[in-house]
Amino acid sequence: MPEKDNDDKSGERIAKVIARAGLASRREAEAWITAGRVAVNGAVISSPALNVTARDRISVDGMPLPRRARTRLFRYHKTRGLVTTHSDPEGRPTIFRALPKGLPRLISIGRLDINTEGLLLLTNDGALARMLELPATGWLRSYRVRALGRVTQERLNRLKGGVTIDGMRYGPIEATLDREQGANVWLTFAIREGKNREVRKVLESLGLKVNRLIRLSYGPFELGDLDEGAVAEVETEALRKTLGPEVVAEAACDFESPIEGEARALPSRHSGARPKGREPGIQRGRPQQPLDSGPRADARDRNDKKRDSRRRDRRGSGPRPSRPRA
C-alpha cells in the first residue's frame, strides 16, 4: 500500500495510535517505524508522517495492533538498583521484570535513574505518558534528598530563578534545607522539567554529593505509604478528575473501553479501608510527610549503619573509607 500523502488530515498519526494501544511511547513507535517494524494494510512503512483511521490494519513485528483498552495509571515504588527500561543492553535488572504478575503492558511516565528510588508513574496509554512527560504540562516533581556536604538556605534560594550549568539551563527550583545529619544534609527539592540527572547536577554545582534521592510526588500523585516494590492503581474516576478535562482531551484518554483482562487486583500490603473523600496517593493540598522521619526512617538509618559497620578491610585494618552512593 503506498503511504498516504503527508498532508492528509484524516485520522491520526500512526505513532500516536501505536502509543495509545500501550505498546510504546510515541517516540519509540516512531523509531520502530523507521526500523521497518510497522506495516499498514500489509505494507511495511518507513515514515511516521502517516495518518491512519480505524479502517486501517496495523501490525508491529507481524502481530496485529492490540485493541485499545481503557486508560489506566499506576503508582509504583521503585527501589534502587533497577533500570527504567524494558530491556537493558548491560543486562541490569529492570523495573518491568520486577513488577508483579498480572499487569497489562505498561510504559513509564518519565524515568528514574538506577540509583533513584520512590514514585514512578506507569500507564498503558502511550499518548498519556507523552502528555505528562512534557515540561509544558508544568507538573511539580518533588524529591527528598540526602547529600554529603554543607549548604545554606540562602544559596538554595538562588535556585528559584533557575541556573545554568555547563551550558545547560535549568528552570526555577524550589529547594529547602530541612536538617543536618552528621556529614550530610537533608533537602526537599522540587522541579518542573525533570531533565537528565537534574537534581544531582544542580546540587553538585553547590558542592554537594547526593547519596540518596527519593521522588515523593509527580504532579498530584504521591508516593505516600506505598511499600517498596509495590504497585497501586489509581481508580478510573479518580484518574479522570485528577487529570482534568484539558489533559484528558489532549491525550484522548479512553475511560469507557473494557479493562484489559479485567485484572484489577494488585499485590499490595496497603489494601485496607480508604479514607473517605480521598483517593490514596493523590494530593489534596496536604504536605507530604518527610521520609526521613518516623519509625520507618529510623529503621532505614539503623540498617545503613549496620551495612557500613560490615564494610571491613580484609586485612583487619578497620572500616573502609565510606563511598556515598550517587
Average pLDDT score over residue span 126-131: 89
260: left (phi over 0), alpha (psi -120 to 50) or beta: beta
Q: Which of 7, 61, 88, 113 is catalytic?
A: 113
pLDDT at 325: 42
pLDDT at 300: 53
For residues 6 and 131, give the distance between their C-alpha atoms in angstroms, rounded to a whole number. 23
For residues 95 and 116, give the distance between their C-alpha atoms in angstroms, rounded to a whole number. 12
Running DSSP on this structure, what letter comes out for residue 267? Answer: -
Please determine, for residue 254, whether its predicted confidence score (pLDDT) is greater than 70: yes
57 and 146 housed in the same domain: no
Contact 126, 20 (CB under 8 A): yes
Residue 137 — pLDDT band, cuts 50, 70, 90?
A: confident
pLDDT at 77: 98
Please determine, for residue 266, whether its predicted confidence score (pLDDT) is greater than 50: no
User: Would you state the cell numbers that stand for residue 209, as one nine-digit string?
Assistant: 554529593
In this structure, the dihedral spanned by the alpha carbons of residues 112, 115, 116 and 117, taken in order and rounded to 10 degrees, is 110
Residue 319 — pLDDT band, cuts 50, 70, 90?
A: very low
**Three-class DSSP labels, 52-80:** ECCCCCEEECCEECCCCCCCCEEEEEECC
117 and 254 housed in the same domain: yes
155 and 192 housed in the same domain: yes
Q: Count other C-beta atoms under 10 Å from residue 239's C-beta.
A: 22
Residue 279 — pLDDT band, cuts 50, 70, 90?
A: low
Please determine, for residue 302, whether its predicted confidence score (pLDDT) is greater than 90: no
127 and 232 housed in the same domain: yes
Please determine, for residue 253, whether its predicted confidence score (pLDDT) is greater than 80: yes
Please determine, for residue 321, whether its predicted confidence score (pLDDT) is greater than 70: no
For residues 37 and 98, give the distance between their C-alpha atoms in angstroms, rounded to a whole number. 27
pLDDT at 95: 95
| Residue with more model confidence, 138 or 191 | 191
Q: Count other C-beta atoms under 10 Å from residue 8's C-beta.
A: 13
Is residue 113 among the annotated active site residues?
yes
Contact 185, 177 (CB under 8 A): yes
pLDDT at 305: 52
Contact 146, 255 (CB under 8 A): no
Is 134 within a domain? yes
pLDDT at 284: 57
Number of compact structural domains in the chain: 3
User: Would you state the cell numbers that stand for residue 130, as one nine-digit string?
Assistant: 507523552
223 and 281 housed in the same domain: yes
43 and 184 housed in the same domain: no
CATH number assigned to the domain comprising residue 98: 3.30.70.580
Running DSSP on this structure, what letter comes out for residue 262? Answer: G
User: Which of 11-20, 62-71, 236-245 reaches the highest mean pLDDT?
Assistant: 236-245
134 and 237 housed in the same domain: yes
124 and 227 housed in the same domain: yes
Is 255 within a domain? yes
Please determine, for residue 297, whether its predicted confidence score (pLDDT) is greater than 70: no
245 and 145 housed in the same domain: no
182 and 233 housed in the same domain: no
For residues 213 and 205, give the distance between their C-alpha atoms in angstroms, rounded to a whole number. 16
pLDDT at 306: 53
Please determine, for residue 248, whether its predicted confidence score (pLDDT) is greater than 60: yes
Is beta strand 141-148 parallel, antiparallel or unpaired with respect to 209-218?
Answer: antiparallel
Is 293 within a domain? no
CATH number assigned to the domain comprising residue 197: 3.30.70.1560
94 and 227 housed in the same domain: yes
Residue 301 — pLDDT band, cuts 50, 70, 90?
A: low
How many contiguous H segments (helices) and E segments (strands) does the chain have?
Answer: 8, 17
Please determine, for residue 244, whether its predicted confidence score (pLDDT) is greater than 60: yes
For residues 19 and 22, give the distance between their C-alpha atoms in angstroms, rounded to a whole number. 5
Is 52 within a domain? yes
pLDDT at 326: 38
Is 240 within a domain? yes
Residue 278 — pLDDT band, cuts 50, 70, 90?
A: low
Please determine, for residue 320, whether its predicted confidence score (pLDDT) is greater than 70: no
Is 5 within a domain? no
**Residue-wise pLDDT tens digits, 29-88:** 899 999 999 999 999 999 999 999 888 999 999 999 887 789 999 999 999 999 998 888
Residue holding cell 508483579? 100
Mean pLDDT computed over every residue of the chain: 82
31 and 130 housed in the same domain: no
Residue 259 — pLDDT band, cuts 50, 70, 90?
A: confident
User: The domain containing residue 227 runs over which residues?
Assistant: 70-139+219-270+277-288
User: Which of 85-89, 101-105, 164-168 reaches the highest mean pLDDT?
Assistant: 164-168
Q: Which residues contact 282 (CB under 8 A, 6 or more apart)?
A: 220, 221, 222, 234, 238, 242
Is 315 within a domain? no
| Residue with more model confidence, 264 or 19 | 19
Residue 9 — pLDDT band, cuts 50, 70, 90?
A: low
Please determine, for residue 135, whether its predicted confidence score (pLDDT) is greater than 90: no
Which secondary structure element, helix H or strand E, spans residue 155, and what is its range? Answer: helix 153-157
For residues 208 and 201, give the distance between their C-alpha atoms in angstroms, rounded to a whole number. 9
Residue type at 104 in one-letter notation: P
Instruction: Phi first, then psi: give them for residue 131, nearest 5 degrees.
Output: -60, -45
Is 295 within a domain? no
